[in-house]
A and B are shown apart, each in its own frame.
Chain A
Amino acid sequence: MSRFKGVMLMQLMAAFALFFSGGKAQAQDDVRGLYNAVMLHEGTDFYQFAKITLRTVNISGQLKVSANVKVLFGDWDSNEYLTYEYPDVPLNLLTRELSIREDGNDVSMIGTLRSGVIEGEWFSTQQGRVGTFRAQKTGVPAAPRDGILVKTLSGFYRGSLVNTNPQSNLPERVTMSFVTTQDSSPDGAPVIRISGNARFYLGSFDSLEYVETPFTNIQFNFYTRYLTAKTQDYGLTFKGTMAPDGRFDGILLSDGLGNVATVAVAAYP
C-alpha cells in the first residue's frame, strides 16, 4: 500500500510540475517581460549588467513593443544605474529582430529575440559600438569567466597627490569619496546624483589630521569614465579618468593657480 502511495505521490508531483512548467513555458515565450542582460565591452574584459524590460500592447492586431533599459554599474543590486526609455521598439515579424533605440538616449541595442533570449549588439552615442549583449528572461546570463564587472563610482578612494606647481604645497595624501543616488531630472527622467567629499591628509591616512571639503559639482561620464569634481572650499577641481576597476588618474586644478598637482587614487579597500 505504501508503495502505491509513493507512486501516486510521484504522479501528483509530476502533474504539478507539468502544470506549472507549461505556464512558465508560456511566459517564457512572451515577448514582454524582464530580461537580465550581460553587456560586454568588446576589446576589454569589462562587462556590465543591464535589465531590459519589454512591454507589449496589441493595437488592431499590430504588436507594439516599448522598452525600458536599466544599465547597471556594479552588481545586480547596485543603485548606480542609468535608465533609458524607448517608447517604440520595432519588432521584425520575420526575424524577430528588436531595435531598441531612441533619439536622445545614449544607449541603443539591436538584438534578435529567440526563445526568451535576446542577443545582439549595443551601442553608445559617444563610443559607437560597444560590444555584444545577451539578455534572458529566466536566470541571468553567465558573465565572462575572466571578465571585470564595471564598478560603481560610489566608494572610497585614496591615493597620492604630487604637487606640480611650485606655488602649491598641498598634502601628498588625498582621499575621495563618492555616493551616487537616483534622482529625477526636471523633466522627470531618472538621473544619477553624485555627491562626495575630498580629504587632504596632512598626517597619515588613519589620523585626524586632514582637511575635508565636500564636492559641490561632480560630473561623471559613465561611459568615458571621465570625472570632474569641484570642491566647495579652496576652489579645487579634480579632473581625470576613473577606470572601471576603480582607479582614478587625473590632475588637480586650483581656481587661482591652475594645474597644481597630479592625483592617483584607487578604490579602498
Chain B
Amino acid sequence: MRFLQIMLVSVILAFLTTGCAKKSMSERDTRREQLRLNAHKKRLEIQPLAGNYRGVLKEAGGSQQEISLHLEMKDIPETEGGQVDPVLIPTVSGALNLTYGSGTSLEQISFGTTKADYNAAESRLDVIVSNSAYSDINMTLVRDGDKLSGSWSSPSTSLSGVVELTRTEKLNLGGDSQSLGGTYSGFFLWADKEWYTAGQLTLTTAQDGVDNFHVTGSLKVTLPGSPAPETFVYEYDTVEFNPLSRQVTIRSEASDVYFTGQHNGGVISGQWFSRRIGLIGTARFGRSAAEAPSDKTQASSASGSWFGTVTNTGTSSQLPEKVLLSFNVVPAKDQPGGLSLVGSSRFYYGPFSSNEYLEYRFESVDYQPFAGKLVAVTQGSPKLTFSIDLATNELSGTISDSSLGLVATFRAGRDVGPDGDGAVTLAGVYRGVFLHEDRGAYQKGKIDIIPSLADDGLKMSAVLTLHLGDIQSGETLIYRFGEPQFNSVTGALTLSLPEHDVIVKGILRNGELTGDWFSTSAGNMGTFSLKKNTGVDAPADFTMLDTLKGTYQGNLRNTSANTNLPERIMFGLITTLDSAAPRGLRVTGNLRLYYGSFGSNEFVELPFESVQFDPYKRIVSGKTSGSLRLTVHGDISTENKITGTLSDDALGQVGEFEVTKNAQ
C-alpha cells in the first residue's frame, strides 16, 4: 500500500514537472529536490520507530539492568546545499536510561544518542548512546512490531549482552527494580577463619542531572562484645557503581575497611578488605534480614574483661600465674569510624578476688579486630607487650618484656574459672635460713612481705628478721624496708636501703624466696632460702650461730711492758631489743678483770659505755666508761669463742685475750 502511495506521488510530481516542463531546474535545485524526496522517504521510515520502549539490558554474565529507551525523529538541516533554505533531514535521536527504583526514589543514568541509523529495509537500528561517565554503549536493535531487541556492547567495560525492549505508551522512568539506595543488611565472613559477623551497608543516592546519580555510603561492622557490641562504622563519600558491570566499589582513603562487589537483584555481594591486612573475606547484603551462617562461629571482640592463666617460659620469668586483661572501646583517633581499645593488665598473686595484684595500664593498644589480633604495650616499667590472638570468647598469646624478650604465654576467657586453686599470695611470712657460707654457719630468719593497694598500684613493704640463736632466743636483728624493688616479670626482689647494712636479693617464686644476701661490712654472706608456711631447714653440716648474750671468760696475756693487768678476764654481754639501736639490737655489758679466781670477789668491774656488734663480720668491741678507758675488740667464732685484744687509750694495745662463752 505504501509502495503504491509512493508511486502515485512520483507520478504526480513527474507530471507537474513535465507539465510545467516548459520551465527547466538548476542542478542545485535538482539535488535539493532529491534530498527532499529522500528526507521525506526517510521520515516515513523513521516515524514508526519513534516512541518509548522499556526493557532490560542483559549482560552476558547474567546480570540485567532495567532500561528505558526513548526514540524520536529529529530533523536536522542538511548543510551540503548551503545555508539558505536547507533541506531538513530526519534522524533518529533519543536517550537510553538505566533506571533504579521509581518515583521519588528514582535513580537514572541517562545515555544520550550520539549516532543512530535506521535501516528500514532490515528494520535495524544501529545506535550509539553515550554518557560522560560510562562512555559509549553500542546497540544494534531489530524492530519487530512493538519490540526492539538486539545486542549491546560497552567498549569501555568490555561488556556486552542482549537488549530487549517493548514499546510503551509513556516513557515511564522507573519500574519494578529497586533503587540502589537503601539499607542492606547481611554478614561479613572471614576467609582464613570460621568467623562471621553482622554488618550493614547503607547506600545513599542523589541524582546528578539525568546523566548520573551520585552514591555515598556507609559500612557498619558489628562485633559482639562486653558490655556492649563493638560497632565499626565507615563512611564513604563516593561509592562507585557501574551500571553496566553492576560493580560496586566502596572505598575511602580515610577508612580502613573497603568493599568491592556487585549489585544484582537487590543483593550486594563481594569481598571486604582492610587496608592493613588486605583481603578479609566475603560479604553479602540484602534488602531483607538473612540468617546467620550455621557453619561459622560469631567473631568476637576484645572489649571487656578476660581472666587468664600465665605460663612462664624460661627460668628468668616469674610472672604471677593469674592475669586479668580489661579492654574498653573508644573511638579511634586516626581511623574515622574505627574503634580502638584502652585497658590494663593485672597480674594476681592471689585469687582474682584479692587485692594482691600488680596493675599495668596499656599505653598503646593496636587493635586489629578483623585480623583477630591485638597488641597491647604497658606503660612504665616493666614494659610488657601482649601479642594476642582473638578467638571466639577466648584470648591467647604471648607476653614479652622489653629486656628479656618472650617471658610467658597466656590463655584467657570470659569466666573467672576456679579461682584460688593453687594461687599463692604474695603476702605472708617467708621463713627459712640465711647461710654464712664461709663459716659453715647459718641464722634462722624470715621476711615478712606486706602488700597494700595504693591508688597507683600494688605497694609492698618488707621486714627482714634475723635471729641469733633459736627463734625464741629474743635476740633478733630487724630491718624494715619501705618499698623494696620488685620486678614482677622476673620475680626479682631486692631489699636494700642506704641506712641498712644488709642487702637481700632473691627470686620470689610460688611462695618461695631464695637468693643471695650481703653485708655492707662483710660482703657476700652466702645464700638464703625461705618458704611460706613450711619454712626451710638448714643444711645438716651447718652450725646455727648462737646468741651474743652471755658471759665469756678466759685468759688475758699482757703484751705491753707497761702493764700488769690481771690474767683473768671476763665480760658479760646483754642484748635487748631497742628500735633506736642499730639493727634494733642494743648490746650492753661489763668487763671484769679478776685478780683472784673466777667466782671470787677479787675483780675490777668496768662497765662498757658502748658495745658494737657486727653480726656479719662477727666482731664485737666495747669501750669501758670511767677514768680507765679500756677497749675490748674481738672476733667471735662459731664455737662462741672470742679472741681479741685489749687496748688502753694511752698505752695502745696492752693485752691479748681468748674467752669462751659460759654455758647458760
List A residues at the B interface (Cβ < 8 Å).
26, 29-32, 56-58, 60-63, 93-97, 112-114
Docked complex: B544-596 residues within 8 A CB-CB of A: 562-568, 590, 592-593, 595-596
Cα A191 to Cα B600 with chains together (Å): 35
- Which of A31, A60, A97 is within 8 Å of B602, CB to CB? A31
23 pairs across A/B with beta carbons < 8 Å? Answer: A26-B600, A29-B568, A29-B597, A30-B595, A30-B596, A30-B602, A32-B596, A56-B601, A56-B602, A58-B601, A61-B590, A61-B592, A61-B607, A63-B602, A93-B565, A93-B566, A93-B604, A94-B562, A94-B651, A96-B564, A96-B595, A112-B564, A114-B564
CB-defined contacts of B563 to chain A, threshold 8 Å? 94-95
CB distance from B655 to the nearest CB of A (A): 10
Asked if B597 contacts A94 (CB within 8 A), the reply is no
Q: Find out whether the CB atom of B602 lies under 8 angstroms from the CB atom of A58.
A: yes
CB of B628 within 8 A of chain A? yes
Chain A residues closer than 8 Å to B602, beta-carbon distance:
30-32, 56, 58, 63
A-B residue pairs, 4 tightest by C-beta: A61-B605, A26-B597, A58-B601, A30-B596
For A31, give the chain B residue with the smallest CB separation: B595
Closest to A61 in B: B605
Whole-angstrom distance between the alpha carbons of A30 and B606 in the complex? 19
A94 and B648 contacting across the interface, CB-CB below 8 Å: yes
Is the CB of B654 closer than 8 A to any CB of chain A? yes
Number of residues of chain B lying within 8 A (CB) of chain A: 25
Give Cα A29–Cα B600 distance, bound, in whole angstroms.
11
Bound together, the chains give a CA A113 to CA B568 distance in angstroms of: 15
Task: Give the interface centre of A57, A62, A63, A94 by most chain B CB atoms within 10 Å.
Answer: A94
How far is B596's CA from A32's CA once the two chains are assembled, in angstroms? 8
Task: Give the distance in Å from the alpha carbon of A50 to the alpha carbon of B19 in the complex.
Answer: 206
Residue of A29, A32, A60 with most chain B CB atoms under a 10 A cut-off: A29
Taking the complex as formed, is B273 at the interface, i.e. its CB lies under 8 A from any CB of chain A? no
Closest to A60 in B: B605
Closest to A23 in B: B597
Interface centre among B602, B604, B607 (most CB of A within 10 A): B602
Interface assignment of B486: CB less than 8 Å from any CB of chain A: no
Q: What residues on A are CB-neighbors of B567 within 8 Å?
A: 29
> Is A94 a contact partner of B654 (Cβ separation < 8 A)?
yes
B213 at the A/B interface (Cβ < 8 Å)? no
CA–CA, A96 and B556, complex, Å: 14
**Which chain A residues lie closer than 8 Å to B628 at the CB level?**
93-94
Please indicate the chain B residues that have their CB under 8 angstroms from the CB of A95 in the complex. Answer: 562-564
Nearest-neighbor residue (CB-CB) of A62 within chain B: B604
Interface residue B603 (Cβ < 8 Å from any Cβ of A): yes
Question: B601 to A57, Cβ gap below 8 A?
Answer: yes
A57 to B602, CA, bound (A): 7
Q: Is the CB of B651 within 8 A of A61?
A: no
Identify the closest chain A residue to B598 (Cβ): A26
Known: A30-B596, A56-B596, A94-B654. 16 other contacts (CB 8 A): A26-B600, A29-B568, A29-B597, A30-B595, A31-B595, A32-B596, A61-B603, A61-B604, A61-B606, A62-B604, A63-B595, A93-B566, A94-B565, A94-B648, A95-B562, A114-B564
Give residues in B with beta carbon < 8 Å to A.
562-568, 590, 592-593, 595-597, 600-607, 628, 648, 651, 654
Contact B596 A62 (CB under 8 A): no
Bound CA span A94–B566, Å = 8
Expressed in whole angstroms, the Cα–Cα distance for A4 and B607 within the complex equals: 54
Residue of A nearest to B648 (CB): A94
B647 to chain A, nearest CB (A): 12
Which residues of chain A have C-beta atoms less than 8 A from B600's C-beta? 26, 30
Shortest distance from the beta carbon of B564 to any chain A beta carbon, whole Å: 4
How long is the Cα–Cα vector from A31 to B601 in the complex, in angstroms?
10
State in angstroms the CA–CA spacing of A61 and B563 once bound together: 20
Q: Which residue of the partner chain B has the closest CB to A95? A: B564
A95 to B600, CA, bound (A): 20
B597 and A93 form a contact (CB under 8 A): no
Identity of the chain A residue whose Cβ is nearest the Cβ of B592 in the assembled complex: A61
CA distance A251 to B563 in the complex (A): 53
A31's contact among B596, B605, B648, by CB below 8 Å, is which?
B596
Nearest-Cβ distance from residue B613 to partner chain A, whole angstroms:
22
Shortest Cβ distance from A94 into B: residue: B563
Docked CA distance A119–B602 (Å): 20
CA of A26 to CA of B565 in the docked complex: distance in angstroms? 16
Contact for B596 among A26, A96, A97, CB less than 8 A: A26
Distance from A145 Cβ to chain B, minimum over Cβ atoms (Å) = 29
> Which residue in chain A gives the minimum CB-CB distance to B654?
A94
* Residues of B with C-beta under 8 A to A32: 596, 602
In the complex, what residues of B have CB within 8 A of residue A61's CB?
590, 592, 603-607
For A97, what are the chain B residues with a Cβ–Cβ distance below 8 Å?
A: 564
A94, B564: Cβ atoms under 8 Å? yes
- A29 to B595 CA separation, bound complex (whole angstroms): 6
Please give, as numbers and ranges, the residues of chain B lying within 8 Å of A114 by CB-CB distance.
564
Chain A residue with Cβ nearest B655: A94
Note all chain B residues with C-beta closer than 8 A to A57. 601
Kindly identify which residue among B566, B603, B654 contacts A96, using a CB–CB cutoff of 8 Å: B566
Q: Is the CB of B564 within 8 A of A63?
A: no
The docked-state distance in angstroms from the alpha carbon of A97 to that of B563 is: 10
Query: CA of A57 to CA of B103 in the docked complex: distance in angstroms?
Result: 133
Across the interface, name the chain A residue whose C-beta is closest to B590. A61
Q: Smallest CB–CB gap between B562 and chain A, Å?
A: 7
| Complex Cα gap A56–B596 (Å) | 10
| CB of B608, distance to nearest CB on chain A (Å) | 12
- Min CB–CB distance B252 → chain A (angstroms): 99
B604 to A63, Cβ gap below 8 A?
Answer: yes
Q: How far is the CB of B427 from chain A (nearest CB, A)?
A: 50
Q: Shortest distance in angstroms between B601's beta carbon and chain A's nearest beta carbon?
A: 4
Contacts of B648 in A (CB 8 A): 94
CB neighbours (8 Å) of B566 from chain A are 93, 96
Q: How far is the CA of A19 from the CA of B181 in the complex (A)?
A: 125
Kindly state the separation between the CA atoms of A113 and B566 in the bound complex, as whole angstroms. Answer: 10
Residue of B564, B565, B592 with most chain A CB atoms under a 10 A cut-off: B564
**Complex-state Cα separation, A135 to B595, whole angstroms:** 17
Chain B residue with Cβ nearest A22: B597
CA distance A159 to B334 in the complex (A): 145
Query: In the assembly, what is the distance between CA of A158 and CA of B642, in Å?
Result: 71
**A59 (CB) vs chain B CBs: closest residue:** B601
CA distance A58 to B567 in the complex (A): 18
Shortest A118–chain B CB gap in Å is 12
**What is the chain B residue whose CB lies nearest that of A57?**
B601
Residues of A near B595 (CB, < 8 A) are 29-31, 56, 63, 96
